[in-house]
Structure 1
Amino acid sequence: MIGRLLRPVLKLVLGFVIVSVAWVVVYRFVPPPYTFTMLGDRLAGHRIASDWAPLDRIDPDMARAAIAGEDARFCLHRGFDVQAIERAAQRNASGGRIRGGSTISQQTAKNAFLFQGGGWVRKGLEAWFTVLIEAIWGKRRIMEVYLNLAETGIGTYGVQAASERYFHHGAGRLSATEAARIAAILPLPKKRAAVDPHGFVRRHGNVLARYVGVVRASGLDRCLRS
């Protein structure tokens, strides 16, 4: 009796594993054409601006700014930064603004394969896809997909579209300051803009612009270097 009940569950789990692994393998070579987040924006009536750019056609300071702002240990961890998670938990327990401990790898897994929200179910799926992309893609592909799928404004996705929207040139010509300003809006892209930034975006962007050189000099981006 128990075996009969377990059999369809095991088939379902096996099917999910096969499909998810195949999905990740395809995206190792093919740019993700659309995401659930883009669909949500589209259903909300927003036009979608997204222009895929290979990593070697994006100024290296953009990846450095993302590392400085989002995941300083990107080249050191295997998808999950335990130290960052522990620090976020401590800050959240002490009250104040809630902070997350998600790595760039986790954010990429969510952006490419999943949806916003969803609580612990989505978090569990995110962890699974994070393990897969770390194993199948490697760091350069993860950063490439992240920089192309990250929301950089209402209806705007990826640093190429952001660079064209805010600075009127391609991502290959970003200055350290411009890259830092795009990185500064990543945590709240629907509420921040990189053009004529003020308040938090200006302050945080200025800090990230200074740290771009630190990331380069200390080799925190070494996993991205050809």
Structure 2
Amino acid sequence: MRWLRYFLKCVLGGFVAMQIYFVIQIGLWAVINPDSTAFQRAERWRLCGLQWSCPIQSSWVPYDKISSNLKRAVLVSEDDIFFQHMGVRVEDMQKAWAKNAQLNQQGRGKSKTALRGGSTITQQLAKNLFLSSEQNYLRKAQELLITGLLETMLSKQRLYEIYLNSVEWGEGIFGIGAASQHYFGVSPALLSREQAAVLASALPAPKCFDKVQYCRRANIHFPTRQDFILENMDRVALAPAPKAKTR
């Protein structure tokens, strides 16, 4: 049994080392902008392989140079109470777990049944920054751990800034700087309400929004989603609620 104990120690040591790496990386991002994400690197490899030149578009834009229209539209589309929660939305996750249980039962226990829904902006960011696109319960658990680190170590505004600059907006298009230029030829600061709603509606299926050949698996009607976003943009908050003063 000595070999088993040694193996378990190695696994535990590797797990702890990985968490330490996450802590150091997130700590650096408090003052340094990420140059890429795990998802971006995977997409670059998928599109270009070993080619030096690659049609990946990305351009960092500071938070205060991004239109409030876009910030509000993305919140409506992806996580309307982002500035109020602590990284997870328990009710949404419970619904997702129930849906997953149903899917697994229908799939007769197949281990590759994909997880569905329930992700906040912070959870999406955790996945994009560090993890693969593979969906299983171990990856979801690691995603939750990273989500906790992100919420603890970075401010909400910084998290949102990194998200808006790293999220996918089409094939090889990452971040609002590249997206606003690609679709409308304007800087992110100049996006109108209608343009912001269009871009935010793309986030659930950005490749499908960009190129029709990716729409076979997408079940989304972008114009309807754009109308919903426009109707609800004014009700979302762009900052955490102030703490009540105690006497």
Scaled to the shorter chain, the TM-score interval is 0.7 to 0.9
> Matched residues in 2 for 1:101 and 1:64: separation?
20
Q: TM-score if structure 2 supplies the norm length?
A: 0.78
Distance in 2 (alpha carbons) for counterparts of 1:151 and 1:8: 36
Could you tell me the percent identity over the aligned residues? Answer: 32
Matches within 5 A, 1:132-211: 132-193=149-210, 200-211=221-232
Letter in 2 for 1:203: T
Larger CA deviation: 70-79 vs 111-120: 111-120
Number of the residue aligned with 1:13: 15
TM-score, with length taken from structure 1:
0.85
Gaps of at least 5 residues in structure 2 are 49-54, 107-114, 212-219, 243-247
1:27: which partner in 2? 29
Q: Secondary structure at the match of 1:152?
A: strand
Post-superposition Cα deviations, 1:115-169, rounded to whole Å, max 9, x if no partner, equal 2124223212211110000000121111001101110001000111110000101
Aligned length: 215
Measured on the aligned residues, the alpha-carbon RMSD in Å equals: 2.6
Asked if the contact 1:49–1:156 (Cα under 8 Å) also holds between the matched residues in 2, the reply is yes
- C-alpha displacement at 1:110, in angstroms? 1.0
Equivalent residue for 2:145, pick from 128, 138, 153:
128
**Distance in 2 between residues matched to 1:50 and 1:56, nearest whole Å:** 18
Unmatched tracts of structure 1, length 5 or more: none
Separation in structure 2 between the aligned mates of residue 115 and residue 91 of structure 1, nearest angstrom: 22
Q: Supply the distance in 2 between the matched residues of 1:224 and 1:166 (Cα, whole angstroms).
A: 33
1:33 shift after superposition: 1.0
**Runs ≥4 in structure 1, deviation > 6 angstroms?**
none
Aligned AA for 2:207? K
- Pick the structure with greater CA Rg: 2
Deviation of residue 91 (structure 1)?
6.3
- After TM superposition, the structure 1 stretch with the greater mean CA deviation from structure 2, 123-132 or 9-18, is 9-18
- In the TM superposition, what whole-angstrom CA distance separates every residue of 1:38-97 from its partner, at most 9, and x where no partner exists? 2232223361000011111101121211111111221221111012223445667599xx
